[in-house]
C-alpha cells in the first residue's frame, strides 16, 4: 500500500506490456480537463465476467472489480474488490486485451458520467471505509455508498485486496429492475460484448 502511494500507477504499469496490449499507458496522474470527477464502469469479460467500477480521484481512477455488477436494488449488496489504480485515460478504453495478457479478454464501456462525493474529504472517507456519493451516469444515477468490509493483507495475492460492498441508497433511482439485463450495450459504441469480440478494433472516447 505504501509503495503504491509513493509510485502512482506503478502497479498498473508493472502488470501490463504496452507493446502488446492496446490499453492506455497513461504515464502519470493528471487532472481531468473537464473539471468534474469522471465515473465509469467497464464490463470486462476476462477469465470471469465482472464489472470494473472506477471513480476519478487525485488524477487517477480508483478501481473496484464487481463480479455481479451494480444493482439498483438497495437490498442487494454487491461485493467490490478493490484493484490497482488505473490512469484517467483508461476511462475511455473499449476493446480487446490480447489472450495471455493481464486481464486478457474484452472490455466494454458500459457506463460513463461524473460522480460527486457527499463529503468533500474523499481521502478521509476512504480511510474510514465508507464513501458516500452520487452518480451522474448514462445508466446509474442517484445516491450510492461503498463500504469496506475487509482490509487487504498484501498486494501480491488478488484475494487479499481490500473488499468493499457497493450499495444503492433509497431514492427515486432505486429499482428492482435488473439494469445489467435491460441495458447491456456500450455507452460508447452501442455494441454488445459479443460484437466487440467479433470486431476488435480499438475505440476510445476523448477525455
Ligand atoms: Mn477487470
Q: How far is the CA of 54 from the centre of ligand 1 (A)?
A: 10
Structure confidence by residue, pLDDT tens digits, 48-93: 999 999 999 999 999 999 999 999 999 999 999 999 999 999 999 9
Question: Which of the 8 DSSP states describes residue 159?
Answer: G
What's the 103 CA to ligand 1 centre distance in angstroms? 6
CB 164 within 8 A of CB 148: yes
Q: Render pLDDT for 157-189 as a digit per residue (tens, 0 to 9).
A: 555 689 999 999 999 999 999 999 999 999 999
- Report the percentage of the chain scoring pLDDT > 90: 75
Is residue 65 within 8 A of residue 80, CB to CB? The reply is: yes
Residues 6 or more apart from 42 whose CB is under 8 A from it?
A: 51, 52, 54, 93, 94, 107, 108, 109, 110
pLDDT band at 6 (very low <50, low <70, confident <90, very high): low
Give the pLDDT band of residue 203 (cuts 50, 70, 90).
low
pTM (2 decimals)? 0.89
pLDDT value of residue 147: 98
Three-state secondary-structure class, residue 3: helix
* Higher-pLDDT residue of 23, 138: 138
Ligand 1 mean position to 49 CA, how many Å?
8
Amino acid at each position: 500500500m505504501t509503495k503504491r502511494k509513493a509510485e502512482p500507477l506503478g502497479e498498473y504499469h508493472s502488470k501490463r506490456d504496452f507493446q502488446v496490449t492496446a490499453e492506455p499507458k497513461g504515464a502519470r496522474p493528471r487532472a481531468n480537463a473537464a473539471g468534474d470527477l469522471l465515473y465509469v464502469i467497464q464490463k470486462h469479460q476476462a477469465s470471469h465476467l465482472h464489472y470494473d467500477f472506477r471513480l476519478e480521484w487525485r488524477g487517477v481512477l480508483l478501481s473496484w472489480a464487481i463480479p455481479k455488477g451494480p444493482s439498483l436494488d438497495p437490498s442487494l449488496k454487491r461485493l467490490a474488490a478493490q484493484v490497482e489504480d488505473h490512469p484517467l485515460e483508461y476511462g475511455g478504453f473499449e476493446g480487446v486485451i490480447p489472450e495471455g495478457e493481464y486481464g486478457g479478454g474484452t472490455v466494454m464501456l458500459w457506463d460513463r458520467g461524473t460522480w460527486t462525493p457527499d463529503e468533500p474529504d474523499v481521502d478521509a472517507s476512504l480511510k474510514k471505509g465508507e464513501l458516500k456519493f452520487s452518480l451522474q451516469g448514462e445508466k446509474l444515477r442517484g445516491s450510492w455508498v461503498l463500504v469496506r468490509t475487509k482490509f487487504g493483507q498484501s498486494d501480491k495475492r488478488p484475494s487479499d485486496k481490500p473488499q468493499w460492498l457497493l450499495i444503492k441508497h433509497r431514492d427515486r433511482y432505486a429499482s428492482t429492475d435488473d439494469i445489467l439485463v435491460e441495458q447491456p450495450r456500450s455507452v460508447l459504441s452501442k455494441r454488445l460484448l459479443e460484437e466487440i469480440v467479433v470486431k476488435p478494433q480499438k475505440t476510445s472516447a476523448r477525455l
